[in-house]
Structure 1
């Protein structure tokens, strides 16, 4: 029983559960944003906000392509909202935070492997390199 308890309280499982709940709430938020703002904009351009009634009949068989069209538009809107309001700001924030960090590794001029900044010899190709803190001797 203690193994099961450890499994349930492990960090990864708890983080996954929290991410799922937050993701579900965010999906509702994006859906409501699309319904409240984007769908009316589509209606201004295309004439109607809901295309689920669109269908074509071929030899007596109905193909309701409007359902797919509406889902595709909703997907594109959701992807755009997530990208522009979550991914892009998060990426910019991470870049800003990483700019202030000092580099701990650099590239070996001989084999292009990553080596510590203060290294005097490459651990991969064993070439002698000038530490980044010193000026190279010509």
Structure 2
């Protein structure tokens, strides 16, 4: 059983998957920093200094000055956080789109099937036609 587990754990696909997962986690942190530290401050500046991370609607009780206090007070709709995560998602999706597009350019495309039949088929047809003429 230990031998089988070792074979499973060291199989190439599993190691590739683990490497992809680790790179994905690092990429996620990079995108979060890009959105939170660069893009959202610029968007906030353009929209008049709005801090998206603190945008919310208090659904129960009186409005609180911060999102953390509002969540403690009760039901809170934190739509600013959603906007930030949506921008994160769009950036990740766009980068993945560019990666897939680049891989598709590099990967050789299969040659389209030509209208001409394979040589073997042509030879078989010629043999058939010759045999038909003999009769």
TM-score exceeds 0.5: yes
TM-score normalised by structure 2 residue count: 0.62
Q: Deviations over 1:87-135 (max 9, x none)?
A: 22x233234224x6450x5388xxxxxxx974887xxxxxx9xxxxxxx
Structure 1 residues 5, 117: closer, same or farther in 2, change over 3 A? farther
Which one has the largest radius of gyration? 2
Residue 93 of structure 1 aligns with which residue? 102
Q: 5 Å matches for 1:46-85?
A: 47-52=49-54, 54-58=56-60, 62-66=74-78, 69-85=79-95
Q: How many residues align?
A: 110
Residue 33 of structure 1 aligns with which residue? 34
Stretches of structure 2 that go unaligned for 5 or more consecutive residues are: 63-72, 126-135
Matched-pair contact (CA < 8 Å) for 1:106–1:117: no
Higher relative contact order (CA 8 A, sep 6+): 2
The root-mean-square deviation of aligned C-alpha atoms, in Å, is 3.3
Structure 1 residues 46, 120: closer, same or farther in 2, change over 3 A? farther
Stretches of structure 1 that go unaligned for 5 or more consecutive residues are: 109-115, 122-127, 129-138
Bigger strand fraction: 1
Matched-pair contact (CA < 8 Å) for 1:55–1:62: no
